[in-house]
């Protein structure tokens, strides 16, 4: 994994909290939903749900609309426009039940009406933002190696569509001020900050005069930003990292080294980062508890077409993934850490035969005869548990 230096540290903590409302949904969006979380008693941009209740957080992998995925969404819209809501319906019960739900938008959006393209230079239909919201996602990391596929215009279109849908975002920005704040959500009496960074932008340089357009991985900057978020009042700091070696199920040395250092970083005895969630490698990777902090090295893909790996071979792992779910409990004393009291993973599959994301545990409950689903679930479980997470209490969920 390559790390690169980039622009200076996050702005002052006062700015962070004072501008957090910029990530909140616009007024008048979907009155049936309670703030970005969309759950009564769930996450809210305006305030928590009572001191010390605790909360659940879910996170999922890359949303990567290849050409076949775009065609499917067009078919689901009856040939006019694009509808991604049916594609994600199979995981809505998991996502919408959480107090905080985090997605990863791998690609940028094309202009209204297109043209829309898949690999290698993505321009995705902006309707996917509304589908993420409808599924229950509150916040999305937008830092990836494809963030600059359409330059600054692509970044602006993507973040504008997420704003209109009421989905918070972090990792790319339209201004220095926007870059200076995390996605900030309240849930269960806790203020949750999300930060996001990517290893590279496929060699595309940052736009002229916009060094803040995409957050690149730099250990010093990450820790400075995390500490600023904590100083500004964040009880839980969640770090999204676009990292690792594509098509490698085993965690690479760069992930292990950086993960260990970030998970071990503390200020006044308190960890600077409470959870690390990884994307990019297109295959499921391990969960591991490191220095008392959970790291999901790679969640795999949530939405993707049939994938071809670097050997030029069709690789079913490219449509496999896991949804991470963590339950946080309030600290015994003010200023102490919110602890993860339950850690779970939900195996999922993008079944391109039907164009749907499938919760494999529930699907196999309904139809135990699906040997293909059973094989996919077994492969995901093997990767997720490959670094001994079961010993630290990780279980499979529904």
For residue 2, is pLDDT > 60? no
The answer to whether 343 and 332 have CB atoms below 8 angstroms apart is no
Q: How confident is the model at residue 188 (pLDDT cuts 50, 70, 90)?
A: confident
Instruction: With respect to residue 3, please indicate whether it lies within any of the assigned structural domains.
Output: no
Q: Which residue has the higher pLDDT, 7 or 76?
A: 76
The pLDDT of residue 335 is 84
Residue keyed to tokens 């107090």: 99
- Picking from 26-40, 280-294, 302-316, 345-359, which range would have the lowest pLDDT averaged per residue? 26-40
Structure tokens at 93: 């019960």
Q: What percent of the chain has pLDDT over 70?
A: 87
Taking only the tens place, the pLDDT of each residue in 211-263 is 999 999 999 999 999 999 999 999 999 999 999 999 999 999 999 999 999 99
For residue 159, is pLDDT > 90? yes
Supply angle C-alpha 212, 237, 192, rounded to 5: 100
- Distance CA(85)–CA(135), nearest Å, equals 7
Instruction: With respect to residue 8, please indicate whether it lies within any of the assigned structural domains.
Output: no
**What mean pLDDT do residues 50-63 have?**
87
Provide the number of structural domains found in the chain: 1
Taking only the tens place, the pLDDT of each residue in 82-121 is 999 999 999 999 999 999 999 999 999 999 999 999 999 9
For residue 6, is pLDDT > 60? no
Structure tokens at 65: 């609309």
The pLDDT of residue 189 is 87
Residue keyed to tokens 């991604």: 84
Residue keyed to tokens 């321009």: 123
The pLDDT of residue 82 is 98
- Picking from 165-169, 291-295, 333-337, 374-378, which range would have the lowest pLDDT averaged per residue? 333-337
For residue 192, is pLDDT > 90? yes
Q: How confident is the model at residue 21 (pLDDT cuts 50, 70, 90)?
A: very low
Q: How confident is the model at residue 334 (pLDDT cuts 50, 70, 90)?
A: confident
**What mean pLDDT do residues 139-150 have?**
98
Q: How confident is the model at residue 390 (pLDDT cuts 50, 70, 90)?
A: very high
For residue 49, is pLDDT > 80? no
The pLDDT of residue 53 is 85
- Full residue range of the structural domain in which residue 258 is found: 13-396
For residue 78, is pLDDT > 90? yes
- Picking from 21-30, 149-158, 194-203, 302-311, which range would have the lowest pLDDT averaged per residue? 21-30
**What mean pLDDT do residues 39-68 have?**
71
pTM across the whole model: 0.89
The pLDDT of residue 52 is 63
Instruction: With respect to residue 7, please indicate whether it lies within any of the assigned structural domains.
Output: no
**What mean pLDDT do residues 134-159 have?**
98
**What mean pLDDT do residues 303-331 have?**
97
Instruction: With respect to residue 186, please indicate whether it lies within any of the assigned structural domains.
Output: yes
CATH at residue 261: 3.60.21.10
> Average per-residue pLDDT in the chain?
89
Residue keyed to tokens 């985090």: 102
For residue 40, is pLDDT > 60? no
Instruction: With respect to residue 67, please indicate whether it lies within any of the assigned structural domains.
Output: yes
The pLDDT of residue 299 is 98
- Distance CA(303)–CA(315), nearest Å, equals 15
**Torsion angle of C-alpha atoms 208, 210, 212, 217, degrees rounded to 10:** -10
Instruction: With respect to residue 4, please indicate whether it lies within any of the assigned structural domains.
Output: no
Q: Which residue has the higher pLDDT, 245 or 4?
A: 245
Residue 64 neighbours by CB under 8 Å, 6+ apart: 106, 107, 122, 282, 301, 303, 304, 305
Instruction: With respect to residue 2, please indicate whether it lies within any of the assigned structural domains.
Output: no
Instruction: With respect to residue 6, please indicate whether it lies within any of the assigned structural domains.
Output: no
Structure tokens at 237: 């700091």
Neighbours of 247 (CB within 10 A): 17
Residue 9 neighbours by CB under 8 Å, 6+ apart: 221, 224, 225, 228
- Distance CA(193)–CA(240), nearest Å, equals 11
Please provide residue 37's backbone torsions phi and psi, each rounded to the nearest 5 degrees.
Answer: -70, -30
């Amino acid at each position: 994994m390559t790390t690169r230096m980039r622009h200076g540290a996050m702005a002052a903590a006062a700015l962070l909290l004072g501008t957090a409302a910029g990530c909140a949904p616009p007024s008048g969006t979907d009155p049936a939903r309670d703030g970005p979380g969309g759950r009564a008693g769930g996450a809210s941009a305006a305030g928590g749900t009572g001191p010390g209740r605790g909360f659940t957080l879910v996170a999922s992998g890359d949303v990567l609309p290849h050409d076949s995925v775009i065609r499917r969404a067009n078919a689901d819209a009856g040939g006019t426009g694009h509808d991604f809501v049916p594609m994600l319906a199979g995981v809505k019960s998991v996502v919408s039940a959480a107090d905080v739900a985090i997605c990863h938008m791998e690609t940028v959006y094309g202009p209204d009406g297109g043209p829309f393209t898949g690999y290698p230079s993505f321009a995705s239909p902006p309707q996917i933002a509304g589908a993420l919201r409808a599924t229950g996602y509150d916040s999305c990391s937008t830092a990836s190696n494809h963030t600059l596929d359409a330059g600054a215009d692509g970044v602006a279109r993507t973040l504008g569509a997420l704003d209109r849908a009421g989905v918070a975002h972090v990792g790319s920005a339209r201004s220095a001020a926007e870059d200076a704040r995390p996605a900030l959500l309240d849930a269960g009496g806790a203020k949750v900050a999300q930060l996001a960074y990517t290893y590279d932008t496929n060699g595309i340089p940052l736009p002229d005069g916009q060094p803040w357009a995409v957050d690149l991985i730099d250990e010093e900057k990450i820790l400075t930003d995390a500490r600023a978020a904590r100083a500004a009042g964040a009880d839980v700091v969640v770090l999204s990292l676009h990292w690792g070696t594509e098509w490698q199920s085993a965690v690479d040395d760069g992930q292990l080294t950086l993960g260990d250092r970030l998970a071990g970083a503390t200020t006044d005895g308190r960890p600077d980062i409470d959870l690390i969630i990884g994307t990019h490698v297109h295959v499921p990777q391990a969960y591991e508890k490191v220095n008392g902090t959970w790291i999901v090295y790679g969640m795999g893909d949530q939405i993707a077409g049939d994938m071809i790996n670097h050997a030029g071979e069709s690789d079913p792992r490219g449509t496999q993934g896991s949804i991470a779910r963590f339950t946080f409990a309030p600290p015994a004393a003010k200023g102490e850490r919110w602890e993860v009291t339950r850690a779970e993973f939900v195996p999922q599959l993008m079944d391109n035969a039907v164009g749907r994301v499938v919760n494999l545990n529930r699907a196999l409950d309904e139809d135990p005869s699906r040997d293909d689903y059973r094989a996919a679930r077994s492969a995901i479980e093997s990767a997720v548990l490959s670094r001994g997470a079961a010993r630290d209490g990780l279980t499979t969920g529904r």
